[in-house]
Amino acid sequence: MFSVTVRDHMMIAHSLRGEIFGPAQRLHGATYVVDATFHRQALGADGIVIDIGRAAEELHSVLAELSYRNLDDEPAFAGRNTTTEAMAKVIADRIAERVHAGVLGDVDGQPAAIVKIVVTLHESHIAWASYEREL
């Protein structure tokens, strides 16, 4: 299996519900380095998994919908803890929607033949969480 990874970042504010989160129950900020990895079984005739430029643009577009926002105020997250793990899934699902819609372009004249996406949110240089999904 072949893969291509693109990287960007986002800055959010949020609070987490539950005693397990200790001081993170209060409003705080987080800056995530975000990796999106696209997997494909075989390379197309052009010898690529996906157009890296388009993949980077779409990751940036997805993150722009979340960046510089207090996620506690976003209706899409009402009643949900916006943990790193949960946000990795949100981002992966939004990217998957774009792959299915053909927004990430064609490879060999067909929609990108991506079979899996893995999104990793790096909270720091020592802690990160990922979500992977099949397409």
Give the C-alpha separation, 101 to 22, whole Å.
Answer: 40
User: Can you tell me which residue has the tokens 């987490």?
Assistant: 16
Residues 6+ apart with CB under 8 A from 56: 6, 8
pLDDT of 111 strictly over 70: no
What CATH number should be reported for the domain whose range is 2-134?
3.30.479.10
Whole-Å CA distances, 84 to 29, 30, 54: 12, 10, 25
pLDDT of 20-69, one tens digit each? 999 999 999 999 999 999 999 998 778 899 999 999 999 999 999 999 99
The beta strands (E) that lie in 1-126 are given as 2-14, 28-40, 69-70, 106-107, 110-111, 116-122
Kindly report the pTM of this predicted structure: 0.93
Across 6-10, 42-46, 114-118, 123-127, least confident range: 42-46
